[in-house]
Amino acid sequence: MKFFPFVWRNLLRNKLRSLLTGGAIMLAIALVCILRTMPAGFDNFLNDLAANTRISIHNTAGIVYSMPYAYLGRVRGVPGVDAAVSWTWFGGAVDKDKGVTFPNFAVDADAIGVVFADLGFEPETLEHFRTHRDGALVGRMTMKKYGWKRGDLVTLSSNVWPLVLTFRISGEIPSDQDPRFWLRREYFEESLREAGVTFDQVGMIWARVDDPNRVPGVMSEIDAMFRNSEAETASETEKSFFQNFFGSLQGLVTVILIVTALVTLCIVFIAANTASMAVRERLRELAVLKAIGFRWQLLFATLVAEAALLSSVAGGAGALASLGLTRGLGAAAGWNPQLGPLSGFVMTNVLLVQGLFLAFFIGILSGVVPAFGAARRSVASTLRDVF
Amino acid sequence: MALPFSYPLRSLAHRRLRTGLTVAVVALVVIATTLFLALVSSLRRTLVSTGSERNLIVLRKGSDNDGSSQIPLDAYQTVRFFDGIAKDARGEPAVSPELVVQPFFFREDGGRENVLVRGVEAQALAVHDEARIVEGRMIEPSQGEAVLGRGVAQRYAGAALGKEMKFGRRTWKVVGILDSGGSSFESEVWVDARDLAADAKRPIPYSGMRIKVADGADRDALIRRIGDDSRWALDAKPETEYYAKQAESAQALYGLVVGLALLAGIGAVFGATNTMYAAVQARVAEIGTLRALGFSSGAVLGAFLLESVAIAALGLVVGVGVAWPLGLGVSKALGGIGFGAVTFSTNVITLRVGAFDVAVAAMLAGTIGLAGGLAPAWRAARLRPVEALRKG
Amino acid sequence: MIELRNVSRFYQRGADDVHALENVSLEIPAGRFVALMGPSGSGKSTLLNMLAGLDRPSDGQISVAGRKLNDMSEDELAEFRAAHMGFVFQFFNLIPVFSARENVELPLLLTHLKKAERRERADTALRIVGLAERAGHMPAQLSGGEQQRVAIARAVVTDPEIVVGDEPTGDLDAKNAEEVLGLLRTLKQEFGKTVVIVTHDPRAERYVDEVYLLDKGVFMGSRPGGGGARS
């Protein structure tokens, strides 16, 4: 530790070089952090769902295939099922030209608060939703994107149904990564009837099971109930559902991971280049220090420490920068239909710390090879080469 | 008089490690940017290349995509006799009524995706010029047969010629493979419209129709006529316009790529500048000598700038050289990259690095070379011979 | 050939005012082999830089080969150097990435000669210094003495009127030093060039026609040299 000033001063020796290297590492670490928020967002999203006892029920053929509304009642009757609600895709757009910018569904208001209790709704929000026909529950991500508040009126025109409906926002779904918009089934069904369409089907049913151990049993029972009927069902846990739903994103995630690895490698090369240039220029004084009596292990350590210090400071700056950048990205991009849960770009403390450690280790790694070579050279050979 | 080309190039070769590391930095940035860009470009290319200007897509007013629309049977039966519609080989109107449904398809590893299944009639191939059956044959009506787009084949369980595939509520027999020049039809499965309607329990058998406009006919007049007809609420637009709109969502991804290129590119510029400054510093005496001999400061500037650009050029070549097979390799390993999970249909794309992507990479590399080398080259050029020689 | 009239050179180093040359007036006739000598800091290198067109005086006039140097711009000086000067440096200053022949060819790139002619001239110059067989070798493969001889070849390849050297024997052992001084003498004797060197080396006195003395930036006068006679 008493050698810290020595290490620090060496970095200041060539300020321009240290600045340029630091700048490059800072940008690259910021980039790595931003990239990592994407698959991390996906993982976090799935992990959050792992613990709950919510299951989804849909037509085996696909989500686009519907099920009779009557199924809801029958599912509610299954022992072990606390509550169940139906979901039907509304396909509403704020701006017809821009299309659907957040997922929106017609749901059953009576039990939504029970089935999705873990979302942490405020009681007034649910109360409003239950008592107002045109109520709507909106995810915080979408609220922020459009600057909506509780009580605002929002009009959506559906691209699937012949409907243009106005809703009153009952409150938010309190999660930064939630873009969803939930409207009331009754309002939806009645409006359809007025437009001359009778619709007694649902897209999906979500149910809450009272005990985690009973989940597999309940799922089998439900599927067995509807086997050999017009619409056979497939039940699965919520985590499994979303894993499958976003399964095709795996390809994109792979490319993101590859790009992240490439940028990381890039940082190693930038840092290694600088370290080797610095070492090269100091061969003479290293020889002198060794002649004085400093052992090669110490010299090696100071050289590596120098690289690590520069890398860590720059990495720290980069990680912090990514905080601001992701916030900006998240606000600007919001929820992108192509990316799904990969968008959102939420920076977590875990990722910040990981970014910092990455920078530190890269510094160490990049400093090792040139430092090793330089520190081990014999005094005589160095002086001979240099003088 | 300028210094010979061999001077900057040989100087680079002289310092192999430093040059090599910097080339690697540029190459990595090029690979990362090119891959990402190729990903977005491939997606966009697939979407944009779909459809023809002379074809119209007719959906219910208010629906913005194939899968969420329905049109009444009599609408089809009437509109097909409108003026301005091309006739096929048998003299029938080239109008293809279609039903679009997106059932689950299962991958070998158990993954599940929504795939666009298009229920068609016999006219489909005549109207969709770009689609051709390249293996096997087209489906026969009411036989429970299916034709797979090229991208679909090999991606899902049972998706091969002659095999049986399960999707929707029944199994289908694969009788042909469809090619459409890389457009999104290759991510689709075509079956008989009536078979599909029965399976999906759709009372209204068609979700929309595609119309081929006759040569020389007024396309916009036809569009207006269909849209203005008060019997049904229909909306007609050119196919290319429809698919271009879908490509717009890919547009946002370009923003991501630009951001990536910017951050990584600036980092690479810093890296190149570092290397070049070190090179100038190490060669101060050499520069002084050249100036003493009579080479102008401009010649020195040019030589060092060229060195920097040469590093970037090398990095570009290596980068593109790696990115191209890497992209194809990754696509092959993953069975194509799927896009569109949330839009209820999956576009399968192959990561192909195209001319546009290479051009962008070249611009990026060129900028890195120039921007990175400018300040150090300037410093080299401004060295006064006397001081330079004194330092040496 | 070379004429300095009331030439002064001063500059700032940190907080100090350095007077490198004070009011120097001297003449070097054409075809002479001259040594500039004096203690450290006497301004001899500065004087050499002046008459070589590498630096400009703060005051006074310099005229070389009939041209007034103090009025020229940087680019004009560069052109002048290319046309009239040959340089030999203490640390040889060969471009490490070029072979001996390519190093010698370098000044010819500033002319309009074609590649074949350039090669021929370079080979001739290398022959003069006795290194024709080493033409393809890189500087790293040559000894100190050989490198300096290549530098001399480079200095004469454009057939300049004047050759200047800053401590040309400073980094050489006795044998090589004598060889280089002998070569420089040859340049004056057989090729009629004006040769001006700055040196600490007492051996040089035997080879030169005249020794010019400087002390603390002031020209102290001259005395005759050995004229190349063997002792």
Q: Give the Cβ contact number of residue A43 at 10 Å.
A: 12
Q: Give the Cβ contact number of residue A165 at 10 Å.
A: 19
Q: Nearest 5 degrees, angle CA A60-CA A65-CA A71? A: 75
Scan for tokens 């009973």, then name that residue. A214
Question: Could you tell me how many CB contacts below 8 A there are between chain A and chain B?
Answer: 210
Q: What is the domain count for chain C?
A: 1
A237-278 per-position pLDDT tens digit: 998 888 888 777 777 888 888 888 898 888 889 888 888 888
C218 touches chain B (CB under 8 A): no
Averaged pLDDT of chain C: 89
Which residues, at least 6 apart from B20, have a Cβ–Cβ distance to it below 8 Å? none
Residues of C in contact with B389 (CB under 8 A): 54, 89, 93, 166
Residues of B in contact with C93 (CB under 8 A): 285-286, 288-289, 389, 392
What does the DSSP 8-state code read for residue A175? -
CA distance A33 to A129: 39
User: Sign of torsion, CA A110 A114 A119 A125?
Assistant: positive
Residues of C in contact with B291 (CB under 8 A): 78
Q: Which of residues 282-321 of B touch C (CB under 8 A)?
A: 285-286, 288-297
Residues of B in contact with C98 (CB under 8 A): 6-7, 10
Name the burial class of residue A79, with classes exposed (0-12), middle (13-18) and buried (19+) by CB atoms within 10 angstroms of its CB.
exposed
Kindly state the average pLDDT of the residues B110-137. 90
CA distance A176 to chain B (A): 19
Which residues, at least 6 apart from A53, have a Cβ–Cβ distance to it below 8 Å? A208, A209, A210, A211, A212, A215
Domain with C192, as residue range(s), is 2-93+162-224
Farthest CA pair distance, chain A: 97
With a cut of 50, say whether residue C231 has pLDDT above it.
no
CA distance C230 to chain B (A): 33
Q: State the pLDDT at residue A160.
A: 82
With a cut of 90, say whether residue B196 has pLDDT above it.
yes
Residues of A in contact with B113 (CB under 8 A): 247-248
CA distance C86 to C127: 17
Q: Where are the alpha helices (DSSP H) in chain A?
A: 4-13, 15-50, 70-76, 109-115, 123-131, 140-146, 185-194, 215-226, 238-245, 250-281, 283-292, 296-333, 349-376, 379-386
Q: State the pLDDT at residue B2.
A: 80
Kindly state the average pLDDT of the residues C47-75. 88
CA distance C146 to C153: 11
Reported as half-sphere exposure (CB side, CA atoms, 13 A), residue C88 has a value of 32
**A347-356, B296-305, B359-368: range with lowest mean pLDDT:** A347-356
Partner residue facing C78 (CB), from B4, B13, B294: B294
What pairing do the DSSP bridges indicate for beta strands A181-184 and A104-107? parallel
Averaged pLDDT of chain B: 88
Give the best residue of C40, C97, C154, C164 to mutate against chain B (max B CB count within 10 A).
C97
B27's enclosing H/E stretch is helix B16-48
Partner residue facing A273 (CB), from B64, B271, B340: B271
Give the SS3 label for residue A155: strand
Measured between its terminal Cα atoms, the distance across chain B in Å is: 24
Q: Do C95 and B386 touch (CB under 8 A)?
A: no
Averaged pLDDT of chain A: 86
Q: Do C97 and B295 touch (CB under 8 A)?
A: no
Chains that touch B (3 or more CB pairs under 8 A): A, C
Q: State the pLDDT at residue A296.
A: 78
Identify whether C132 is part of a domain: no
Task: Please count the residues of chain B.
Answer: 392
Cα-only R_g, chain B: 29
Q: Which of residues 163-222 of A touch B (CB under 8 A)?
A: none
With a cut of 60, say whether residue B126 has pLDDT above it.
yes
Q: Do C166 and B295 touch (CB under 8 A)?
A: no
Q: State the pLDDT at residue C229.
A: 67
Q: How large a percentage of chain A has pLDDT more than 70? A: 94
Chain C residue with CA closest to B382: the answer is: C74
Q: State the pLDDT at residue C34.
A: 94
Residue B154 pLDDT class (50, 70, 90 cuts): confident
CA distance A121 to chain B (A): 25
pTM across the whole model: 0.81
Q: Give the Cβ contact number of residue B373 at 10 Å.
A: 30
Q: Do C82 and B3 touch (CB under 8 A)?
A: no
**ipTM exceeds 0.85, yes or no:** no
Question: Are B42 and B247 within 8 A, CB to CB?
Answer: no
Kindly state the average pLDDT of the residues C15-34. 89
Which residues, at least 6 apart from A148, have a Cβ–Cβ distance to it below 8 Å? A138, A142, A154, A169
Q: Do C87 and B293 touch (CB under 8 A)?
A: yes
Which residues, at least 6 apart from A272, have a Cβ–Cβ distance to it below 8 Å? A365, A366, A367, A369, A370, B21
CA distance B299 to B304: 9
Question: Are B71 and B209 within 8 A, CB to CB?
Answer: yes
Identify whether C98 is part of a domain: no
Q: Do B291 and C93 touch (CB under 8 A)?
A: no
Q: For residue A187, which of A162, A218, A161, A166 has the smallest C-alpha distance?
A: A166
Q: Nearest 5 degrees, angle CA A115-CA A234-CA B101? A: 105
A339 touches chain B (CB under 8 A): yes
E strand map for A140-203: 153-158, 164-173, 181-184, 201-202
How far is Cα of residue A90 from the mean position of the Cα atoms in its chain? 25
Q: Do C81 and B296 touch (CB under 8 A)?
A: no
Question: Are A282 and A358 within 8 A, CB to CB?
Answer: no
C95 touches chain B (CB under 8 A): yes
Residues of C in contact with B392 (CB under 8 A): 89, 91, 93
How far is Cα of residue A168 from the mean position of the Cα atoms in its chain? 29
B353-363 per-position pLDDT tens digit: 989 999 999 99
Q: For residue C92, which of C183, C199, C179, C167 has the smallest C-alpha distance?
A: C167
Chains that touch C (3 or more CB pairs under 8 A): B
Residues forming beta bridges with residue B132, ordered by sequence position: B179
Scan for tokens 């910097």, then name that residue. B22
Q: Would you state the torsion angle of the CA atoms of residues A187, A188, A191, A197, taken in this order, to the nearest 10 degrees?
A: -150
A166-181 per-position pLDDT tens digit: 999 999 998 877 889 9
With a cut of 80, say whether residue A293 has pLDDT above it.
no
Residues of B in contact with A157 (CB under 8 A): 62
Partner residue facing B11 (CB), from C49, C81, C97: C97
Residues of C in contact with B15 (CB under 8 A): none
Name the burial class of residue B355, with classes exposed (0-12), middle (13-18) and buried (19+) by CB atoms within 10 angstroms of its CB.
exposed
Partner residue facing B39 (CB), from A232, A255, A333: A255
User: Comparing A294 with A24, which gets the higher pLDDT?
Assistant: A24
Name the burial class of residue A5, with classes exposed (0-12), middle (13-18) and buried (19+) by CB atoms within 10 angstroms of its CB.
exposed
CA distance B192 to B211: 18
Give the SS3 label for residue B218: coil
Scan for tokens 């990969």, then name that residue. A342
Partner residue facing A16 (CB), from B277, B326, B342: B277
Distance of CA A309 to CAs A5, A30, A97, Å? 12, 17, 52
User: What one-character-per-residue DSSP string does A303-343 give?
Assistant: HHHHHHHHHHHHHHHHHHHHHHHHHHHHHHH-S-TTTGGG-
Q: State the pLDDT at residue A45.
A: 79
Q: Do B346 and A248 touch (CB under 8 A)?
A: yes
Task: Please count the residues of chain C.
Answer: 231
C13's enclosing H/E stretch is strand C2-13
Partner residue facing C79 (CB), from B13, B294, B389: B294
With a cut of 90, say whether residue B282 has pLDDT above it.
no
Q: Do A64 and B259 touch (CB under 8 A)?
A: no
CA distance A374 to chain B (A): 15
* Per-domain residue ranges of chain B: 6-48+246-391, 63-232
B65 touches chain A (CB under 8 A): yes
Burial B156-186 (b: 16+ CB within 10 A, else e): beebeeeeebbbbbeebebbbbbbbebbbbb
CATH code for position C73: 3.40.50.300
Structure tokens at B239: 């196919």
Q: Do A65 and B200 touch (CB under 8 A)?
A: yes
With a cut of 50, say whether residue B193 has pLDDT above it.
yes
Q: Which of residues 195-214 of B touch A (CB under 8 A)?
A: 199-201
Q: Where are the alpha helices (DSSP H) in C6-99?
A: 44-51, 74-84
Identify whether C171 is part of a domain: yes
With a cut of 90, say whether residue A87 has pLDDT above it.
yes
With a cut of 60, say whether residue B134 has pLDDT above it.
yes
Q: Do A17 and B274 touch (CB under 8 A)?
A: yes
Q: Which of residues 134-153 of B touch A (CB under 8 A)?
A: none
How far is Cα of residue A329 from the mean position of the Cα atoms in its chain? 12
Q: For residue B289, which of C122, C151, A197 has the smallest C-alpha distance?
A: C151
Q: Do C98 and B296 touch (CB under 8 A)?
A: no
CA distance B335 to C131: 66
Reported as half-sphere exposure (CB side, CA atoms, 13 A), residue C10 has a value of 10
Structure tokens at B269: 């510029």
C139-186 per-position pLDDT tens digit: 999 999 999 999 999 999 999 999 999 899 988 899 999 999 999 999
Name the burial class of residue B191, with classes exposed (0-12), middle (13-18) and buried (19+) by CB atoms within 10 angstroms of its CB.
buried
Scan for tokens 């049913």, then name that residue. A205
B221-270 per-position pLDDT tens digit: 999 999 998 888 899 999 998 888 777 767 777 777 888 888 889 989 99
Q: Do A273 and B21 touch (CB under 8 A)?
A: yes
B19 touches chain C (CB under 8 A): no
Q: Which amino acid is residue C73, in one-letter code? A: S
Q: For residue C125, which of C105, C97, C148, C96 has the smallest C-alpha distance?
A: C105
CA distance B96 to B183: 18
Find which of A279-283, B173-177, C97-101 is predicted with most confidence, using mean pLDDT. Answer: B173-177
Partner residue facing A252 (CB), from B201, B271, B337: B337
C88's enclosing H/E stretch is strand C85-89
Q: For residue B190, which of B104, B114, B129, B115 has the smallest C-alpha distance?
A: B115
Q: Do B289 and C95 touch (CB under 8 A)?
A: yes
**A346-350, B198-202, C29-33: range with lowest mean pLDDT:** A346-350
Residue A335 pLDDT class (50, 70, 90 cuts): low
Kindly state the average pLDDT of the residues C82-106. 88
User: Comparing A333 with A341, which gets the higher pLDDT?
Assistant: A341
CA distance A245 to B225: 40
Q: Which of residues 8-27 of A touch B (CB under 8 A)?
A: 16-17, 20-21, 23-25, 27
Residues of B in contact with C106 (CB under 8 A): 290, 293
CA distance B7 to C97: 7
Q: Do C110 and B14 touch (CB under 8 A)?
A: no
Scan for tokens 């799922």, then name that residue. A219
Q: State the pLDDT at residue B303.
A: 94
Give the best residue of C85, C95, C111 to mutate against chain B (max B CB count within 10 A).
C95
A349 touches chain B (CB under 8 A): no
